[in-house]
Structure 1
Amino acid sequence: MSLFNELGLSQEIVNALTDLGYEKPTPIQKQSIPQIINSNSDLKAFAQTGTGKTAAFSLPILEKLDNENKTTQAIILSPTRELAIQIGKNIEDFSKYMKRVNVVTVYGGANIDEQIRGLKKGAQIVVGTPGRTVDLIKRKQLKLKDIKWVVLDEADEMLNMGFKDDLDQILEVTPKEKQTLLFSATFPKEVDAIARNYMHKPVEISAGKKNVGADKVSHEYYLVSEKNRYPTLKRLADVNPDIYGIVFCRTRREAKNVAANLIEDGYNADALHGDLSQAQRDIVMEKFRAKHLQILVATDVAARGLDVDDLTHVINYKLPDQAENYTHRSGRTGRAGKKGISIAIINNREKNALKPIENKIGKKFIHQQVPGGKEICEKQLFTLIEKIKDVEVNEEQISPYLDSIYDQLKDIEPNELIKRFVSIEFNQFLSYYEDAEDLNGDDSRERRRSSDENFTRFYINIGKMDGLNPAKLMGLINENLKKRDVEIGQIEILKSFSFFEIDKAYADKVIEAFEHSEFDGRSLIVEITKKPKGGGRRSGKKRSFGSDRRSNKSGYKGKSSTGGGYKSKRKGAFGGNKRSGKR
């Protein structure tokens, strides 16, 4: 007897699971399935991404579903279109041996009329994103008065994405007598608030500790200067030739720039962000799931709800604003008992952000050194050798050419032939990484930030009382300099004035850039100053600027660097003929 039979599932469902390769239930499935089948109590379930939550709630719903009744009996809400589509497809697969089960998936970015037609045919189970679900309710096309089950999947994600009002509207039109099933990877206070407001004495189960990282994921960080962030990303890709991962960025612009640079530099990459149409998103995700892409560059919002197996790496190009978001990012690797690596590329200013993340995931970050040229070349070379050893030879296709090939190569000794073959593939790579510089940052914050050798210190006449914070100051600097790759050193925000350090090569440009500048209507005074030795401020030449200024956009925008990369138009570790940029 199947282990799924023992949980109370019918043979039709078990047969479908067998066809899909399900051998035994995961911990969250073992707990959730019998609980939902045997009880009408509400349920709060914690389980990390990739632990089988979809089956945990959909299988018992299918088991208890009234097939003869065409009214909507279950509404399943998920944060993104991709996840909603995936859940709908999974339920169709689970129910393929059941009669008269109709599942309709509703989400924005698709034809609403087609979705309405599907609802009118009768849909016992509706899977939807909050926004489109509310729209259909307002149009009176989705009726939830006979709902028996409400599922909030990835509840924390939906709240992070700002769907609280939508969830409130949906839950308010559902009947009082129903079973509410809340599944979440983390349980911040907002999720507990939803549970308190809309659930009655819920049973709570957990397949692991709340708000911690996946057991099989190791966490590493690379400490570099801001200007070396992108070159470090390239080296991490080069030292992992078989990488299959997601690079997370904080903004759409950053994701676009990083992806464009990787593509230009010959890496097998593409971007996923909010500016893409649904059709464009589908194409990118189809390529990534089929492993035609090795690297997907994405924002948190764009990647929410993605369910991709076998990821080897998650790389945080920039750390997220909230520690909970790091948990979601890192949870996309290390699934199904496999190992995964979550990497953070940080500079000295960001080092303090690691501690709250460590507290959240219950693990320590390991400081790794950015790989050097010799290490990368060695890894690439032996990856090539392994591929040669494992390549399948199609005798039928190449046999017509073999006699001529043997004749042309007959005077070359086998060892010499191997050397020449490897050199053809590898010379460009060796040349690119010859004398590659050390990209590792200085682990001593004070030594790095305050070095008179590298930075010029400035005074600016705004501070905390003006609403200034480090992010706004960095945004102000970037906007006026019109450059995103200038390294900013130490920042001190005081009550009525502040100090900041800039790469000394841009000292004169800073003075020019802030001419005729203001901040929230206040004229700015900027001057070069020196680090005080015993207190007080010793200033240099002062410049006062007027008010003819463009509007200010606060926040650090990051850099849009354009480093090079090892060009490759073919799959695999090698190919092409170009290396450019920082090594």
Structure 2
Amino acid sequence: MKRGTNIIVATPGRLIDLIERKAINLEGINYVVLDEADEMLNMGFKDDIEFILKETINRDSIWLFSATMPPAIRQVSKRYMDNPHEITVGKVNSGNANIDHQYYSTQHVNRYETLKRIIDFNPGIYGIVFTRTKADAQNVTESLIREGYDIEALHGDLTQAQRDKVMARFREKSIQLLIATDVAARGIDVKEITHVINYELPDDTEVYTHRSGRTGRAGKSGVSVSLVTPRELYRLRQIEKLVNTKFHKMDIPSGKDVCRKQFFHFIDKMLQADISNGEYATYLPILQEKFADVDKEEIMQRVAALEFDRFLKYYENSADLNIRDSGKAGREGRSAERSSGREGRSSRSSNGNYQRLFVNLGTKDGFYKASFLQFILDMSGLSKDVLGKIDMKDMNSWVEIDPSAGNKMIKALDGKNYRGRKIRMNDAEQGGGRRR
């Protein structure tokens, strides 16, 4: 910078540090570009961005690049941009015609087992599994690694060096799957991804388009899979309308289906194996001697036993994970759909069985509903299923939560600091915040 430069690429924090140390003067800057502007705001950089914009007093224009257009982005554009033009590349929220959108309906308790079935039923899978939080990403990754799967996690706790190492292994296909959060997966551009799996649907329906677009690139076909509970079906319908694409309901494979698919995949691989370059002829006399008294059928059985013993033992008494009671599932789905009109309040909320928590964080702190939800779940390590309605105001918010998880949420957040401000969370019905 001292020698002179035309373009500076920086993170907000580092740039502010340089400004405050008088190591850089932005008065001569003509253009300001914010890449991934929506995620910058989602991660709490709103004040940093506004500070930088105030320093570029002689700029000619600002360019905001964003995969989605949440209200916070529009607020920045209205405040700092004069008569801005919005340019959309391609159709808004359009789905790739090369992508087959599928969903599996399962109970929440079977979500992880359903994920395993899908992975095992697609032995040639090369893809990304999206989780809602980094805690979910780490938990799913650790569970699958313990069971022998070639995978890695990609989330916000990784250093840049760790992230680069994971991505290098993924591009080389040394690992079969990435388990990633939406924030960590930003900017991933890898060809030949066969599957994107939504372990949970994204909180922001627009994010679905961003996730599914990781597959079906460069003219190739791809599959976008979503795991949903009956109560989440209404959100799936919302996404269907958003991307203007029909989702295909799939049956969760049985244990026998998985074993059969794996068996034929192995046979195909064995028949396609290249034996032209190895010194296999050297060992043929030994092999012929060893197998002289073993017929071909027994050899095939022994090969199958070596390759599939683990699968057969695991799946021999496996349960049917499909929801067969269509009447009950339909009622639950319709109940959830009706509740969506009440801002996500579930049937349990209407019965008054939720505990109501007050917290002194709101939209003035740079949150919108999806980012606030992710923040409190990351802090507490809880699952989204324990939550009901979230009511956000400028300075405060109210959170409905299963009573069994209320104390854990309070202990995780109350007294902590957020951007220099002490968080206060307590039971709203026992002297906490009053709704305004």
Kindly provide the amino acid, as one letter, of the partner of residue 347 in structure 1.
T
1:438 aligned to which of 320, 338, 345? 320
Matched, 1:369 2:246: no
1:301 aligns with 2:183: yes
Name the SS of the counterpart of 1:215 in structure 2: coil
Q: State the Cα distance separating 1:260 from its structure 2 match.
A: 0.5
Aligned residue among 203, 210, 224 for 1:342: 224
Using CA pairs under 8 Å that are at least 6 residues apart, name the structure with larger relative contact order, 1 or 2. Answer: 2
State the partner residue of 1:356. Answer: 238
Q: Give the alignment partner of residue 27 of structure 2, picking from 145, 150, 173.
A: 145
TM-score when scaled to structure 1? Answer: 0.55
Q: Deviations over 1:460-516 (max 9, x none)?
A: 996689559xxxxxxxxx9xxxx989x98x9999xxxx998xxxxxxxxx9xx89xx
Determine the C-alpha separation between the residues in 1 that align with 2:6 and 2:331. Answer: 62
Deviations 1:401-446 (A, max 9, x none): 3321222223444455334323332243233322422101244446
Structure 2 CA distance for partners of 1:491 and 1:360, relative to 1, 3 Å:
closer
User: 1:191 corresponds to which residue?
Assistant: 73
Residue 210, structure 1, aligned to residue 95, structure 2: no
Aligned 1:4-19 pairs, distance under 5 A: none
**Matched residue, 1:424:** 306
Q: Secondary structure at the match of 1:298?
A: strand
Following the alignment from structure 1 to structure 2, what is the Cα–Cα distance between the partners of residues 232 and 246? Answer: 16
TM-aligned CA deviation for residue 188 of structure 1: 3.2
Distance in 1 separating the partners of 2:84 and 2:235: 35
Partner of 1:230: 112
Q: Deviations over 1:151-176 (max 9, x none)?
A: 23233333333323222222232253
Contact map agreement 1:185 1:211 (CA 8 A) in 2: no
Contact 2:107-2:230 within 8 A present in 1 as well: yes
1:265 partner letter: E
In the other structure, the counterpart of 1:3 is none
Matches within 5 A, 1:516-555: none
Tell me what 1:288 maps to. 170
Quote the offset at 1:231 in angstroms: 0.5
Q: Which of 1 and 2 has greater Rg?
A: 1
How far the C-alpha of 1:347 sits from its partner, in A, is: 1.3
250 and 361 in structure 1: CA distance in 2 versus 1, 3 angstrom threshold:
same
CA distance in 2, matches of 1:280, 1:248: 19
Q: Which of 248, 255, 258 matches 2:140?
A: 258
Q: Using a 3 Å threshold, how does the CA distance of structure 1 residues 434 and 191 change in structure 2: closer, same or farther?
A: same
Tell me what 2:396 maps to: none
Alpha-carbon distance change, 492 to 150 in structure 1, aligned in 2, over 3 angstroms = closer
Deviation of 1:218 after TM superposition, in Å, equals 2.6
* Number of matched pairs: 373
Does the Cα contact within 8 Å between 1:334 and 1:341 map onto a contact in 2?
yes
1:329 aligns with 2:211: yes
Does the Cα contact within 8 Å between 2:357 and 2:427 map onto a contact in 1?
Answer: no
Residue 65 of structure 2 aligns to a residue whose secondary structure is strand
Contact preservation (8 Å) 2:32, 2:59:
no
2:195 counterpart residue number: 313
- Normalised to the residue count of structure 2, the TM-score between the two structures is 0.72
C-alpha deviation, 1:318, in angstroms: 1.7
**Cα deviation per residue 1:222-253 (whole Å; 9 max; x = unaligned)?**
11111111100000110111212221222222
Structure 1 segments unaligned to the other structure (5+ residues): 1-118, 451-456, 469-477, 501-509, 521-550, 555-583
Deviation at residue 258 of structure 1 after TM alignment:
0.8
SS of aligned partner of 2:226: strand
The SS at the match of 2:224 is: strand
CA distance in 1, matches of 2:356, 2:136: 28
Deviation at 1:334, TM superposition (A): 2.1
CA RMSD of aligned residues (A): 4.2
Aligned twin of 1:132? 14
Give me the whole-angstrom Cα distance separating, in 2, the residues matched to 1:261 and 1:224: 19
User: Residue 8 of structure 2: SS of its match in structure 1?
Assistant: strand
Please name the residue that 1:172 is paired with. Answer: 54
Code of the aligned partner of 2:126:
Y
Identity %: 45
Question: Which residue pairs with 1:540 in the alignment?
Answer: none
The C-alpha deviation readout for 1:258-305, integer Å capped at 9, x for no partner, is 111000011111212233333333322222222211111122233233
AA partner of residue 176 (structure 1): N
For 1:196, the aligned partner's letter is K
Residue of 256, 269, 273 corresponding to 1:387: 269
Query: Secondary structure of 2:156's partner?
Result: coil
Conserved? CA contact 2:231–2:332, under 8 Å? no
Q: Write the distance in 2 (CA, Å) between the matches of 1:307 and 1:492.
A: 36
C-alpha distance 152-214 of structure 1, shift in aligned 2 (>3 A)? farther
Once structures 1 and 2 are overlaid, which stretch shifts more, 145-154 or 247-256? 145-154
Label 1:519 to 1:318 Cα distance change in 2 as closer, same or farther (>3 A). Answer: closer
Asked whether the 8 Å contact 2:68–2:206 carries over to 1, the reply is yes
1:311 offset after TM fit, Å?
Answer: 1.9
* Partner residue of 1:219 out of 98, 101, 114: 101
CA contact (8 A) 1:223 1:443 kept: no
Deviation at 1:395, TM superposition (A): 4.2
Equivalent position of 2:63 in the other structure: 181
Q: Deviation digits for residues 165-203 of structure 1, max 9, x if unmatched?
A: 222222232253534333332333433333334444455
Runs of 5+ in structure 2 lacking a partner? 334-346, 359-376, 391-399, 411-424, 429-436
Q: Deviations over 1:72-102 (max 9, x none)?
A: xxxxxxxxxxxxxxxxxxxxxxxxxxxxxxx
For residues 354 and 54 of structure 2, the distance between their equivalents in structure 1, rounded to whole angstroms, comes to 43
Taking the aligned partners of 2:57 and 2:356, their CA distance within structure 1 comes to 50
Q: In 2, Cα distance between the equivalents of 1:419 and 1:250? A: 43
